[in-house]
Structure 1
Amino acid sequence: MLQNAFNHYINSFRGFSREIWILTLMTFINRAGTMVLPFLSKYLKEDLHFSYSQVGTIMVCFGAGSMLGSWLGGKLSDKIGFYRIMIFSLFTSGIAFFILQYITSFIGLCISMFVIMIIADMFRPAMFVSLGAYANKENRTRALTLVRLAINLGFAAGPAMGGLIIMNIGYGGLFWVDGATCILAILIFWLNVKEKKKSKFTDKEHPGEILTHSVFKDKPFWIFLACCTITGILFFQLFTTIPLYHKEQFNLTEFQTGLLLMMNGLLIFFLEMPIVSYVERKKLNKVRIVTYGALAMTMSMFLMLINAWAGILVVMMLFMTFGEMFAFPFSNSFAMSRAPKGHEGRYMAIFTMSYSLAHITSAKLGMEIIEYYGKKYGHLTGYQANWIFMGFLGIISALLGIWVYRLTIKEPQQISS
């Protein structure tokens, strides 16, 4: 039985091209080296002594740059190709991180964070397009999942190493490591993966695709984006309001909060790829799976209303983790499947922008609710109000998923990729 399960797990990693494995390695190195971001607010507050308001403003510039970079990356991937965009983005942002440590003024950091994130986040839609190019139709979702595993492993390793670097060298060391890993990752890609040239085509040559005149006229895609943005808002609570709640309601240490987040990462590492393989083998509808994910995340928010037992945090994390495994890999795959040939970049740009928007909105929205209701009715009531609000947002997300499902099954050509 155990041997069978192990064989199924190993088999779920088979069938990828060499290019996909190199992309995965590159992503792991890049994400493991992304040490500045987890400590950015601490660096701005504790090292540069900015006020909370100034830190918030710099983070808004960070988010705005991320959104613009995502859009530009997708647009330019369609125009000049994903390969050049990926190389330009990682190499240039690597150099930019070296320089960033020497900028310490408020205005300077607002401008530089905005510019760096434009360059850095041009990479994301280009990378999604590259997966579409180097993975075949049958294993595209699994390829996306493989890269997500690399991202999760990288993020698990990065902050721990970042903490050691700060203790021994200082914050300056983070910028050197972050910049160096960006450059190392893209050198590995450039030396081992050759550019895949675009073939000449018109949309009529691809009758299996869902064709739209413009991304802006693709109604199911935009409703789906709203669903994804909400799931993103719920998920990012894990890194904003929930760690604070752990401390204030249950007096958990940073280590205990870290263990809960580690459980999330380990479950994803061991279970996400088999789940994706199962869904692909059974040819289950991806929008329905995403909707189940939205419902699981919604349940995780409502579970937080139980505040007399610390064990509920483990149960909540299980629901959030399964919600993440159902929602995120299949969201990527569905978004890619909506794009006509030659327009993948702009679709994936707008898709990645929805998560940039969720990242900005999640922290601001959650903190504002907690502060407003906390001042009015007591601090912990503020958290309860936030969980209720997030839970109802999640219900809206699930309803949007059902709407998209009904729209897509009525389409003359069913999505199959």
Structure 2
Amino acid sequence: MKKNDAGFLRHFQPYLALDRAIWMIAFARFIIAGGTFVLPVYALILTQKLSLSPADAGMMVFIVSIGGMIGSVLGGYLADTFNRLALMAISEGFSAVCVIIAGLFAHDVLSVIFIALSSLALGIMRPAMRAALLSLCSTTSESKRYALSLSYLAFNVGHAVGPLIAGFLLLDFYQWLYWGDAATTLIAAYLLASLIKKTTGRKPKADKKTSQESIERSTEHDAQDNVSKPDKTQIALFLAVNICVSFCYAQITFTLPLQMAESFSDDGARYYGLILMINAFAVLGLTTVLTSLTAKTHPIKNLMFAICGYGAGYVMIGFMPILLVMGFVILIITASEILEVTNGDAYLCELVPESHLGRYVSFSVIANNAGIALCPLLMGFAIESIGLSWAWSLVGIVTVFTLLCLGFMLKRAEKIPLQL
């Protein structure tokens, strides 16, 4: 029994070895996700509270989304120019102020302007947060994956709570929906600001378990940061893969609920909620274990496993839309998501020097958003053209293309040993 316990607990040991600042950033992300009350229900706010038509509400949501994308572009550049933690704290603070003002105009369309500004600030914060997280890690690719895994886990735990509270506030305490959102954002900003002095000038340390050879490679890599040029071909392929992977994952919020409605009629919404619950529990149960099991595998290979999981899972749903099959498939899809999140930016970090990390992370964020945006556009057209069941084959085609890109990337990457 003790041996089994020790074997299970070893999956958590690398997390305990992470820098305290990484834990604080992850905790701040948990607070941000758990306190994001406005955006998850913003379409309902616009239609129910501000009495906008669905078309007008869609336009307002689009404007808010554009604010976030512009923020990501700005954030990438600013993250390479200024202190990343300071940038995060200021962005969060500005976002909170905008949401407070939006709460004062909660019954007026004018509030949309301040929500868009808040989205802009959050967009600036995201690449800075990812870049800060990666730069605070030790010199190994393995530690970066654990840091991303911890951040991902924190976000999902918070995200499981936020929309639930938001739904309650929307019904009975509408303005507090805004002010509660702002309050949690200010708490996160304070936590991030408290780290600025503690991390300024600090350089990543090598893990205790890191081999001497790996340390030497890492030191050489750091020394060349200022003179080496990013591998633009590999980065371009990575961004293309990012778009495709995000397109595949986004099926869970667009095509999957349509499939549930077609397969189970009135019970579709209830069963879809059940599937999302399985997804949430799977994230909590699988993240640490999968990260530990795949930590020493090349990140591109892990991304290949992820895209295979997406492709196989969604095609199975298309041709076997049975509830039991869907429950099993969502576990595969969740595992694929975990592998993608914990390996994507960790590999990107190996391709670019530290001085350019912020802007390239912002490209990654934009690629993610592009893939998510393409999902309803392409799948909607496919569903109208060839029907829902066959539309899933489009995901299969995207999967094959992505695997080809990853295979080419792996061949190129093998010429330069990765830090593990």
- Bin for the TM-score computed over the shorter chain: 0.7 to 0.9
Percent identity of the aligned residues? 22
Correspondence for 2:255: 241
Partner of 1:141: 145
Secondary structure of the residue that 1:9 maps to in structure 2?
A: coil
Per-residue CA shift, 1:33-70, capped at 9, x if unaligned?
Answer: 11222212222233323333323322322332222211
Q: By how many angstroms is 1:144 displaced?
A: 1.1
Residue 352 (structure 1) shift: 1.2
Instruction: Find the counterpart in structure 2 of residue 345 from structure 1.
Output: 358
- Are 2:369 and 1:356 equivalent residues in the alignment? yes
Aligned partner letter, 1:18: R
Aligned AA (2:361):
M
CA distance in 2: counterparts of 1:362 and 1:109, whole angstroms: 29
> Unpaired segments of 5 or more residues in structure 2?
204-217
- The answer on 1:173 being equivalent to 2:176 is yes
Other-structure match for 2:401 = 396
What residue number does 2:215 align with? none
Q: Which of residues 218, 221, 231 in structure 1 aligns to 2:245?
A: 231
**Deviation of the 1:206 alpha carbon:** 5.7
Going from structure 1 to structure 2, the CA distance change for 1:278 and 1:193 (only over 3 Å counts) comes to: farther
Shift of 1:389: 1.4
CA deviation string 1:163-211 (max 9, x = no partner) = 22223323x33212111111111112223553533589xxxx9632586
Question: What is the distance in 1 between the residues matched to 2:169 and 2:113?
Answer: 26
Structure 1: gaps of 5 or more residues? 374-380
Map Cα deviations across residues 94-135 of structure 1 (whole Å, 9 max, x no partner).
Answer: 1111223426666x5665454332211111111112112322
Kept after mapping to 2: 8 A contact 1:69/1:120: yes
Give matches, 1:53-92, under 5 Å: 53-92=55-94
Aligned counterpart, 2:391: 386
Report the counterpart of residue 33 of structure 2 in structure 1: 31
So what's the TM-score if we normalise by structure 2? 0.87
1:163 to 164, 167, 170: 167
Relative distance call for 1:327 and 1:393 in structure 2 (3 A) is same
Q: Displacement of 1:336 after TM fit?
A: 1.5
What is the aligned partner in structure 2 of residue 262 from structure 1? 277
**Alignment match, 1:377:** none
Which amino acid is 2:399 matched to? G
Structure 1's 50 and 249: CA in aligned 2 closer, same or farther, altered over 3 A?
Answer: farther
- Which whole-Å deviations, capped at 9, do the CAs of 1:345-367 have from their partners, x for residues lacking one? 11111111111222322233333
Relative to the length of structure 1, the TM-score reads: 0.87
Matches within 5 A, 1:15-30: 15-30=17-32
Preserved contact between residue 229 and residue 357 of structure 1 (Cα < 8 Å): yes
Q: 1:367 to 1:57 in 2, by over 3 A?
A: farther
Q: 2:15 matched to which residue of 1?
A: 13
Distance 1:241 1:104, change over 3 A: farther
Q: What does residue 407 of structure 1 align with?
A: 412
Native 8 Å contact 1:83 1:195 kept in 2: no
Pick closer, same or farther for the CA change 1:352–1:147 going to 2, 3 Å.
same
State the partner residue of 1:186: 189
Count of residues in correspondence between the two structures: 398
Aligned residue type for 1:152 = N
SS in 2 for 1:208: helix
Of 293, 301, 320, which residue of structure 1 is paired with 2:306?
293
Aligned: 1:218 with 2:232? yes
